[in-house]
Amino acid sequence: MRLFYSYLIGVLFGTGIAVSGMANPAKVLNFFDLAGSWDPSLAFVMGGALLVTFVGYRLVIPRGAPLFDGSFHLPKAKRIDPKLVVGAAIFGLGWGISGFCPGGALPALGVFHGEVWLFVAAMSAGMALTRWISGAKG
């Protein structure tokens, strides 16, 4: 049951990404291109997603625990450190080059375009490399 819900929630997310235009790099890059072919659509994606999540979390989190687990797994990090800021800046650079973010690319894998699989393979390598290096250091 837990896995069935997980799958359906993934389907809902992937459908939302596909409908909204987030899976399309051309649309994402045009959102960033304020000085050129600007397409403000993605502001509406963020707006719709935030509104629903903001209200929904306030209904769900006060319940104290999720349906299929003993407690909520909420991020504990509070500090705004250089790692957060530098990481976000690096992500923005890659997003601006490729037009794909992880949430846009994973549903797009389902379309079976070679370029999406190439992007996700490179992204996985970047994730593994970073974890390996930070693991080796700390």
Partner 1 sequence: MRRRHQRLAHQHVWGAALETDFTPLQSLFGGAMIGLSAVLLMLTLGRIMGATGIFAGVFAPTSRRDWLWRTAVVLGMMTGPWVVWTLTGALPVVHSDISPLALTLGGLIVGVGVTLGGGCTSGHGVCGLARSSPRSGIAVVVFMATAVATVFVIRHVIGA
Binders of partner 1 among residues 74 to 113 (CB under 8 A) are: 74-75, 77-80, 83-104, 106-111, 113
Closest CA to 40 of 58, 65, 21, 60: 21
Count of residues that bind partner 1 according to CB under 8 A: 115
Residue 13: C-alpha distances to residues 7, 19, 36, 65, 110 (Å): 10, 10, 30, 22, 13
Q: Are 15 and 110 in contact (CB under 8 A)?
A: no
Could you say whether residue 138 binds partner 1 (CB under 8 A)? no
* Shortest distance in whole angstroms from residue 112 CB to partner 1: 9
- Binding to partner 1 (CB under 8 A): which residues in 23-42? 23-27, 29-30, 32-37, 39-42
One character per residue 5-24, x = contact with partner 1 (rule: CB under 8 A): xxxxxxxxxxxxxxxxxxxx
Over its C-alpha atoms, the chain yields an Rg (Å, rounded) of: 17
Q: Which of 96, 123, 90, 104 is nearest to 16 (CA)?
A: 104
Among 62, 131, 137, 138, binds partner 1 (CB under 8 A): 131
Q: Report the residue number, 134 or 136, with the smaller CB distance to partner 1.
A: 134
d(CA 85, CA 6): 31
Based on the shown chain and the rule CB under 8 A, indicate whether residue 136 belongs to the binding site for partner 1: no
- Indicate whether 2 belongs to the interface with partner 1 (CB under 8 A): yes
